């Protein structure tokens, strides 16, 4: 593959990063079989079966309007996730394993070849926390940009994180000024955030704010703040005021996402009027704010809905000793 121009500002740390990336340059890109797919209108969620009988989930999302159209692919970086966000389906799987470079990049190959999707944008917002698998995510980013087969511009690559500050700083060390960063924030203060997102007990909002402020943005660029609205939990106007205060002085753009219902998870979606009022409060406080149009909800491909909980149950059953007929016990415990 051709080498991309990387501008690591010469630091020892960045050189180490590059070595990690170059060691992975020759990893084969997987083209795994499609095991399942679900469609809702023009949105396609597809699953690929891995060599060890797990599933990788990805979502093709057609975007645009007024004569301009492109496809965004939401890719997974792990099978499952260890981060335990209380509103998220993937969290219920736990972490089964990290995806390899080839498995991450292979999702784009499958979207292009199997679905003829001509992917233009890639967002790391599928299963998993990308900062927990940076040794594979960073080389995957480089290959998506550099390989002739993909040629996805850095400005069209976005990494989303639950807010792991050391990971944000590690990624920032690469000095990729046009790489997109999205923060899954979802709360206006530490009290609420720690309740719904365990990461906040180690990486507080103050630490996160500092890490965001250090992110290398190009002129006019923004860090995307993702905010899943949970009725009665984080969707009140006072929360919007606190959120605006937290973001004051940062170059951010808020993306409001009314929670996508998941069977077995006990939250509710705010109604449209509450969502609009929340958005207005943020905008009046000077915050650039959008509401994400929900895509793929019935296909379980919308935000926070990826993940196959049955896979976790199957793995748990496999680990149980078969003497004493304990398969039923495993099912009951899961
Ligand atoms: S929201 Fe993201 S980080 Fe949190 S559990 Fe789900 S996949 Fe993991």
Confidence class for position 211, pLDDT limits 50, 70, 90: very high
- Does residue 15 form part of some domain? no
Buried b (16+ CB within 10 A) or exposed e, 128-159: bbbbbbbbbbbbbbbbbbbbeebebebebbbb
Overall residue count recorded for the chain in this entry: 334
Beta strands 43-49 and 34-40: pairing type? antiparallel
303 is known as an active-site residue: yes
Ligand 1 mean position, distance from CA 259 (Å): 13
Number of domains the chain contains: 1
Instruction: Retrieve residue 135's tokens.
Output: 């040794």
Query: Ligand 1: does its nearest atom lie under 6 Å from the Cβ of 88?
Result: yes
Contact 89, 45 (CB under 8 A): no
DSSP string, 230-287: -TTTT-SHHHHHHHHHHHTTS-EEEEEEEPPP-TT----PPPHHHHHHHHHHHHHTT-
pLDDT at 296 over 80: no
Over residues 113-137, the mean pLDDT reads 95
Asked if residue 2 is part of any domain, the answer here is no
Q: Is 21 domain-assigned?
A: no
* First vs last C-alpha separation in the chain: 45
Atom of ligand 1 nearest to the CA of 184: 1
Question: How high is the pLDDT of residue 320?
Answer: 55
- 129 C-alpha to center of ligand 1: Å? 6
Cα distance between residue 253 and residue 249, in whole Å? 12
The DSSP code sequence of 122-180 is EEE-SSS-GGGGHHHHHHHHHHHHHSTTT---GGGEEEEES--HHHHHHHHTT--TT-E
Q: Is the pLDDT of residue 9 over 60?
A: no
**219 occurs within a structural domain:** yes
- For ligand 1, say whether the CB of 129 is within 6 Å of any of its atoms: yes
Name residues whose C-beta falls within 8 Å of residue 198's C-beta, 6 or more positions apart in sequence: 83, 84, 85
Let me know if residue 4 belongs to a domain: no
**Residue to mutate, 77, 88, 195, ligand 1, most ligand atoms under 8 Å from C-beta:** 88
**pLDDT bracket for residue 66 (50, 70, 90):** confident
Query: pLDDT tier at 325 (50, 70, 90 boundaries)?
Result: very low
CB atoms within 10 A of CB 2: 9
> Can you tell me which atom of ligand 1 is nearest the CA of 91?
5
Question: Which tokens belong to 105?
Answer: 């990049």
Mutate to test the pocket of ligand 1, among 164, 195, 304, 308 (most ligand atoms within 8 A of CB): 304
Domain region containing 327: 26-333
Of residues 36 and 16, which shows the higher confidence score? 36
Catalytic residue among 85, 88, 165, 303: 303
What's the confidence (pLDDT) of residue 298? 55
Confidence class of residue 150 from pLDDT cuts 50, 70 and 90?
very high
Ligand 1 atom closest to residue 88's alpha carbon, by position in its atom list: 6
Q: What is the pLDDT of residue 292?
A: 75
pLDDT higher than 50, residue 41: yes
Q: Is 83 in the pocket of ligand 1 (CB under 6 A)?
A: yes
Contacts of 210 (CB under 8 A, 6+ apart): 165
The answer, yes or no, to whether residue 318 has pLDDT greater than 90, is no
Q: What is the pTM of this model?
A: 0.87
Determine, yes or no, domain membership for 44.
Answer: yes
Hey, which of 95, 129, 309 would you mutate to test ligand 1's pocket, going by the most ligand atoms within 8 Å of its Cβ? 129
Q: Which atom of ligand 1 is nearest to the CA of 89?
A: 6
Structure confidence at residue 321 (pLDDT) = 47
The pLDDT value given to residue 182: 96
Q: What DSSP state is assigned to residue 29? A: P
pLDDT tens digits, residue range 260-290? 888 888 999 999 999 999 999 999 999 999 9
Tokens 């109604």 label which residue?
271
For residue 7, tell me if it sits in a domain: no
Q: Is the CB of 81 under 6 A from ligand 1?
A: yes
Which CATH number characterizes residue 327's domain? 3.20.20.70
pLDDT of residue 8: 45
Please name the residue whose Cα sits nearest to atom 4 of ligand 1. Answer: 85
Residue 6 belongs to a domain? no
Q: Region of 309 please: left (phi>0), alpha (psi -120 to 50) or beta.
A: alpha
């Amino acid at each position: 593959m051709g080498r991309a121009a990387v501008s690591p500002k010469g630091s020892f740390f960045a050189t180490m990063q590059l070595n990690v990336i170059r060691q992975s340059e020759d990893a084969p890109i997987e083209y795994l079989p499609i095991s399942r797919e679900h469609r809702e209108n023009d949105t396609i969620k597809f699953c690929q079966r891995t060599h060890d009988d797990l599933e990788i989930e990805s979502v093709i999302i057609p975007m645009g309007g007024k004569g301009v159209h492109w496809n965004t692919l939401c890719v997974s970086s792990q099978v499952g996730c260890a981060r335990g966000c209380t509103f998220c389906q993937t969290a219920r799987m736990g972490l089964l394993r990290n995806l390899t470079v080839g498995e991450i990049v292979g999702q784009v190959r499958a979207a292009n070849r199997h679905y003829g999707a001509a992917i233009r944008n890639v967002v790391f917002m599928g299963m998993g926390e990308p900062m927990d698998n940076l040794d594979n995510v960073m080389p995957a980013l480089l290959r998506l940009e550099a390989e002739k087969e993909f040629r996805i511009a850095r400005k069209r690559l976005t990494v989303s994180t639950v807010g792991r500050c050391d990971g944000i700083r590690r990624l920032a060390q690469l000095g990729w000024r046009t790489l997109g960063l999205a923060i899954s924030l979802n709360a206006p203060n530490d009290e609420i955030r720690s309740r719904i997102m365990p990461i906040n007990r180690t990486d507080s909002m103050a630490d996160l704010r500092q890490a965001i402020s250090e992110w290398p943005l190009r002129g006019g660029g923004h860090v995307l703040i993702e905010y899943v609205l949970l009725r009665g939990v984080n969707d009140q106007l006072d929360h919007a005021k606190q959120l605006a205060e937290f973001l004051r002085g940062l170059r951010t753009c808020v993306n409001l996402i009314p929670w996508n219902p998941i069977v077995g998870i006990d939250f509710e979606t705010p109604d449209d009027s509450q969502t609009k009022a929340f958005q207005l409060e943020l905008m009046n406080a000077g915050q650039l704010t959008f509401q994400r149009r929900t895509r793929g909800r019935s296909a379980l491909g919308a935000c926070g809905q990826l993940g196959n909980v049955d896979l976790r149950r199957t793995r748990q059953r496999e680990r149980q000793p078969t003497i004493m007929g304990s398969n039923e016990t495993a099912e009951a415990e899961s």
